[in-house]
Amino acid sequence: MASLKEVKQRIATVQSTKKITVARQMISSARLHQAQGVLEHAQIYGKGLEELLCRLQEVLAERSIPLLTERSEGPVAVVVMASNSGMCGAFNANMIREVAHIGKRYPQEELLFYPIGKKIRQALLLSGQKVEGSFDNLMEKPSSEEIAQAVDQLMEAFLSGGVKRVDLLYYHFRNLARQEIKYRTLLPLTPVSATADERPNDDYIFEPSLSEVLKTLLPEIVRARFRTALADNHTSEFGARTMAMQLASENADQLLEELQRNYNKLRQQNITSELLDIIGSSFA
């Protein structure tokens, strides 16, 4: 049985650990709130662009546009998003497990991976996968320029024929306790399903020209989809970390309660033993 001093030292250790988990929980919760705001704005902006794309479906169908053209030859580029650091529960482990079984989703396909996050990049390298590029800088408050550079690199690989498709593999934020792994095709660009108000029509005047409008609009839609997926993944990461730190704090409370009971029990035994010694010595 542990001594009174050992139990007291362990209580101090758990209390110190709890301070860390509580502090990390508060920080993660604050960053989660910020990430949700970024995700909301990205979704609103992306939705506006998607509506424009839906309204131009008939115009796009009449033209041969490289960003919308499907290809049958070449490898598939997979942009995998996870996290740069740990202490976020099974967030990274689940994504690593998904990548380990990704061959079932892409049978007989050559895959090129573009990891976003040090954890998933390390796992890909250890497993011997083809890691074509790394966008770890996009995990820590990326600027619009950094995101645009990453997306432009992917578009260049697609347009040059280096890859036939670009897919995104990331976490979708449902709620604080639930984040889902999701796939989405980034390239070739395809319009989402149109609603009644978004049905295409021909009542448009393009300035300076249709070609110039599409030259600006289509790459921006690709960037917006990438930006939304990245914001979604960031939000999921902070949600997972907040929940993990909350559970760790609750476990620390339970452990402290058990240790305190053991401490009180040992202390009572020591007091009883001392009293018995005093009583015994008085009769000696």
Compute mean pLDDT per 10 residues along the chain, 284 residues long, and list them.
Answer: 82 93 93 94 94 83 85 93 89 94 92 93 91 84 90 94 95 92 94 59 74 89 96 96 94 94 86 76 64
The verdict on residue 131 lying in a domain is yes
Rounded Cα gap, residues 74 and 161, in angstroms: 7
- The CATH number that applies at residue 186 is 3.40.1380.10
Q: Give the number of domains in the chain.
A: 2
pLDDT tens digit string along 79-111?
A: 999 998 888 889 999 999 999 999 899 998 999
Domain that holds residue 248: 4-16+244-277
Q: Which of 207, 173, 128, 216 is nearest to 36 (CA)?
A: 173
Task: Name which of 88, 145, 152, 85 is nearest 114 in CA terms.
Answer: 152
Looking at the structure, tell me whether residues 133 and 150 fall in a common domain. Answer: yes
Model pTM?
A: 0.88
Q: Are strands 111-116 and 165-175 parallel, antiparallel or unpaired?
A: unpaired
What pLDDT, on a 0 to 100 scale, did the predictor assign at position 134? Answer: 74
Q: Residue 108 carries which DSSP code?
A: T
The type of residue at 78 is: V
- Based on the fold, state whether residues 156 and 253 are members of the same structural domain: no
β-bridge partners, 184:
168
Quick one: DSSP state of residue 191? P
Name the nearest CA neighbour of 67 among 173, 194, 200, 211: 211
Q: What is the pLDDT of residue 137?
A: 85
88 vs 7, 119, 121, CA distance in Å? 29, 12, 17
What is the token pair recorded at 236?
Answer: 């999921």
222 and 128 belong to one structural domain: yes
How much is the pLDDT for 284?
Answer: 56
Residue 241 to residue 233: CA distance in whole angstroms: 12
Is residue 283 in a domain?
no
